[in-house]
């Protein structure tokens, strides 16, 4: 791969925020400045690119941000960027600021947009996987996933306490519209009696039978973890379907929602973000483009960007079997 001549890069975050994005921004900015590159931050993702919302960044611009959730560069979704005229305006602004390459921090929607910029205008771009869903192909973990797991686990531990105190059946919905990574691992970590995932569809009769077996054995209360994208339609829909079957037990629904996105990133997410943010800049300096910087088997790895969403990342079905054995 022939190295490109790069003098200035742009860094931005897009789509749903994830704890650790600030650490990725910090690593990208500081790796760039130590390689004598100029850095511009783009506020509010692709919409900011269209609106010319750029800020110059230096080594000190990213001081004291590691511990904060969210993203100092803000994030937004952009309908304008879906249109050719919007992308044309974005590229005009990138060129106006003499930007030679881009570090895009986000999930599959972010990477789809970056791929279009590369394919239509030849802009060198490297992605950094920032999404709590952990659903991007080409990396074992995404930035924010570990923090989201720990946030959900702590909340569910508290829910378990109140469920036991009142003989209640709790249905707890966690994020995961198309992937059950969060539901699977938090379900195991909290001792859930049942885990419902988009990847392992369970019919309502199976769910009823499973819960009845649990209650007959020993439980005074029960905990079901539901990924928001599960076949049942989420926790609220499932509660409606089960309301006539478990009269002895008070049924309660808790939707954790955006609680999982917030909070100070764990040490694991901070280190992962630092590693990948720096790797993205180095990849650009080495001439790579339209790739994502990820980690596979504990080693840095570059994956063609289009594969990150076109190929399906699978949950660990051995973990799912484990959950059924030890529940």
Residues 31-55, buried b or exposed e (16+ Cβ, 10 A)? bbbeeebbbbbbbbbbbbbbbebbe
Percent of the chain at pLDDT > 90 equals 75
Please report the pLDDT score of residue 81 as a whole number. Answer: 96
Tens digit of each residue's pLDDT (9 = 90 or more) over 264-293: 999 999 999 999 999 999 999 999 999 999
- Measured CA to CA, the distance from residue 36 to residue 203 in angstroms comes to 58
Q: How confident is the model at residue 214 (pLDDT cuts 50, 70, 90)?
A: confident
From the centroid of its chain, how far is CA 298?
19
Please report the pLDDT score of residue 275 as a whole number. Answer: 98
Tell me whether residue 53 is one of the annotated catalytic residues: no
pLDDT higher than 60, residue 3: no
Please report the pLDDT score of residue 277 as a whole number. Answer: 98
Q: Which of 17, 53, 133, 135 is catalytic?
A: 133
Tens digit of each residue's pLDDT (9 = 90 or more) over 93-116: 999 999 999 999 999 999 999 999
**In order of start, what are the domains of the chain with their CATH numbers?**
8-144+265-310 (3.40.50.450), 145-262 (3.40.50.460)
User: 130 φ, ψ to 5°?
Assistant: -120, 95
Average pLDDT value for residue range 237-258: 84
Q: Which residues touch 167 (CB under 8 Å, ≥6 apart)?
A: 220, 221, 248, 249, 250
Please report the pLDDT score of residue 218 as a whole number. Answer: 64
Give residue for tokens 């771009």: 125
Q: How confident is the model at residue 250 (pLDDT cuts 50, 70, 90)?
A: confident
**C-beta of residue 151 within 8 angstroms of C-beta of residue 263:** yes
Per the model's pLDDT, the better-predicted residue between 118 and 230 turns out to be 118
Eight-state DSSP code of residue 139: -
pLDDT higher than 80, residue 305: yes
Integer Rg of the chain from CA: 22
Please report the pLDDT score of residue 285 as a whole number. Answer: 97
């Amino acid at each position: 791969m022939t190295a490109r001549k790069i003098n200035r890069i742009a860094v931005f975050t897009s789509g749903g925020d994830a704890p650790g994005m600030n650490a990725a921004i910090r690593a990208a900015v500081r790796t760039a400045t130590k390689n004598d590159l100029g850095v511009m931050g783009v506020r509010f993702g692709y919409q900011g690119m269209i609106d010319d919302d750029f800020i110059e960044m230096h080594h000190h611009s990213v001081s004291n941000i590691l511990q904060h959730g969210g993203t100092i560069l803000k994030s937004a979704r952009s309908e304008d960027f879906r249109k050719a005229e919007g992308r044309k305006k974005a590229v005009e602004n990138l060129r106006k600021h003499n930007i030679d390459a881009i570090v895009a921090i986000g999930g599959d929607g972010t990477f789809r947009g970056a791929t279009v910029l590369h394919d239509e205008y030849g802009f060198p771009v490297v992605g950094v996987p920032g999404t709590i869903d952990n659903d991007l192909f080409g990396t074992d973990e995404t930035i924010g996933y570990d923090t989201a797991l720990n946030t959900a686990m702590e909340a569910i531990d508290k829910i378990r306490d109140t469920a036991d105190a009142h003989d209640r059946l709790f249905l707890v919905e966690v994020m995961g519209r198309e992937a059950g990574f969060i539901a699977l691992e938090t379900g195991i970590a909290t001792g859930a009696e049942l885990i419902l995932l988009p990847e392992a569809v369970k019919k309502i009769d199976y769910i009823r039978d499973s819960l009845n077996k649990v209650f007959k054995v020993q439980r005074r209360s029960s905990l079901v973890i539901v990924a928001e994208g599960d076949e049942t339609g989420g926790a609220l829909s499932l509660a409606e379907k089960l309301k006539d079957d478990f009269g002895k037990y008070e049924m309660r629904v808790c939707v954790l929602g955006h609680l999982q996105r917030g909070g100070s990133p764990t040490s694991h997410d901070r280190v992962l973000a630092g590693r990948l943010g720096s790797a993205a800049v180095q990849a650009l300096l080495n001439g790579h483009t339209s790739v994502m910087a990820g980690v596979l088997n504990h080693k840095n790895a570059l994956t063609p960007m289009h594969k990150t969403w076109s190929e399906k990342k699978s949950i660990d079905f051995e973990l799912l079997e484990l959950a059924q054995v030890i529940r």
